Chains A and B, each alone.
Chain A
Amino acid sequence: MNRLVIEGLSAGYGAVTVLRDVSIEVREGEFVALLGTNGNGKSTLLNTVMGLVKPTAGRVALEWDGRRVDLGGLAPHAIVREGIAIVPEGRRLVPTLSVTENLLLAGSSPRGRATLADTLAWCFDTFPVLKERRAQLAGTMSGGQQQLLAIARALMCAPTVLVIDEPSVGLAPIVVGQVFEAIARLQESRKLTILMAEQSFFQAVDVASRAYVMQHGRIIRTLDRADGAIDHAEIRNAMMGVAAA
């Protein structure tokens, strides 16, 4: 089975331990939501998957097409090469490069190169606003447009697994809706496997195949769509630390 698997993971920054014994898995084709309020370790978990934070214990591994790659010791660009791309929190575009240059930058990575022209055409078709503003510097676009560019940039790396960190941060509610719609469409049309951290959870949960709730660096709740629709109230209670009624 193709999957991204995280087992007994602990990680943090210097003397501060953030993640404690976290285990989750993301199977091929799934949309997995990582929920929790601020400061509970969602971004740290995603950054550990991407190699931006080094694990102190446990493993992050990608099992795909019969290969098992341990991501624990790899640099971010090497993880991108293995087929995982990130839409980072705060978008992290290169503000001084144009829209096109941001896309070509990612498209020039070893994995993206082979399909560069096709993916670029696809991105321009799917996000017409990026095509219109292709010569504009990324740093001068609106937050929503930047978010779409960040998503398109991740796609230029030709990923099999897409990691998305809080796409709603700093966006107007109506724009959040558009961004979520784009992500849901994407998953279908490009056969992506998605792991997304989010705190405004309603929209995320409605499309998710599974949701993990994080608190104080641990997974405190796992809700599977296979067990029936994921209940909003149940998640809210878990996120706020209220005992289930």
Chain B
Amino acid sequence: MSSRETAMDLAVRRPGRSPSAGRRSLVFALGCVGVLALGVVLTRTVENPYIFFAGYVVIQYVAVATGWNVLGGYAGYINFGPTAFYGVGVYTAAFLVKAMGAPLPVSIAAAGAAGALLGLAMGWMTLRVQGVYFAIATIALVVMAETVVHNIDYLGGASGLALMPPQAPAWAGGQPQFMLMVMLAIAVAFVAAARWIEISAMGRALRALKASEVAAECAGVPTFRLKLIACAISGAMLAIAGAPYVYYASFIEPGTAFSLALSLNAIAMPLIGGKRSWVGPVLGALLLATVQQAASVTISSELNILVVGVVLIAFVAVAPDGIVGIVEKLTGRRGA
């Protein structure tokens, strides 16, 4: 074996090259297919429609948390206004439904484009400032987006908008079932995309710039462009997660589309699960959203936020690397 090949072999963690990485990707792909199949089976067997509503909310949080984590976890830029992107996704879909009765795929594509553009614009204006300034700018973005919607009469302004979205196809067995499957497909696609980013050269470059932007620049990483790309991907994902809501609820209003609870959850879930890998946001969202759903039925719907707050404080204080970090520590695996 030539020393050139040896060196590449030694460069083990090169994703997609080594046999073990290939096997892991295969297992992951099979897992994705399994989750989708499980979704189809459940929508055929479960009768109680509340399960579909609760399931939709939980899975939507998987998508939202994963989208947020691309910028907040991988690049280390904490976006405090994920709900701005989500809301833009909701209202992009609402506009298209009202204007032309757009089918769901069209709305999803348009919401993705709008979210990516907003992400680019936000990144272009704010990425030159770091830390707390970036966070403040993202909070302002929510206020701006909501104010804009308040002042557009066509979108119902502050009082909201009643819509007649296209109905689910007959084979789906009903609107709640169909929406659950759509959201599940979106979430699985996001998680797969996040995993791909993580194991690609882009993920390595993001980890580098998160640790030190000067170090990354010195290694030839175009940090500003990379951060813009992360903003656009994260923005697109958050907006896409919002688009199906319009087809689910036939009434939308700015208070729900730009809700503080969604922003808080989108940040809390990756922090609780662990920000470094795709596993974290998924775990965090499944746990936290399920607890919230249970709490809102059994105790009080207002208690949700309290639960999030307490759990978040506990994790930030005790386990800053989240559940994934705790597991890695217990099993002795390397934490990057």
Contact = CB atoms under 8 A, between A and B. Distances in A.
Given A95-B211, A104-B14, A117-B8, A110 B220 contact: yes
Given A77-B221, A109-B219, A109-B221, A97 B7 contact: no
Interface residues of B, number: 32
Interface string B18-36: 0000000000000000000
B3 A125 contact: yes
A155 to B, nearest CB: 11
Nearest to A108: B201
Specify the main secondary structure of chain B where it touches its partner. Answer: helix
Interface string B83-102: 00000000000000000000
Contact of A131 (B10, B211, B216): B10
A105 B205 contact: yes
B4 interface: yes
Given A76-B217, A94-B215, A100-B13, A117 B7 contact: yes
Contacts of B224: 75
A179 to B, nearest CB: 18
B216 A94 contact: yes
A88 interface: yes
A94 B205 CA distance: 10
Contacts of A81: 220
A81 B13 CA distance: 25
A80 B10 contact: no
B212 A94 contact: yes
A121 interface: yes
17 contacts: A75-B217, A76-B218, A77-B221, A77-B222, A92-B212, A92-B214, A96-B207, A97-B336, A98-B336, A101-B207, A104-B11, A105-B204, A109-B220, A120-B10, A121-B6, A124-B10, A156-B219
The 3 closest A-B pairs by CB, nearest first: A109-B220, A121-B7, A80-B220
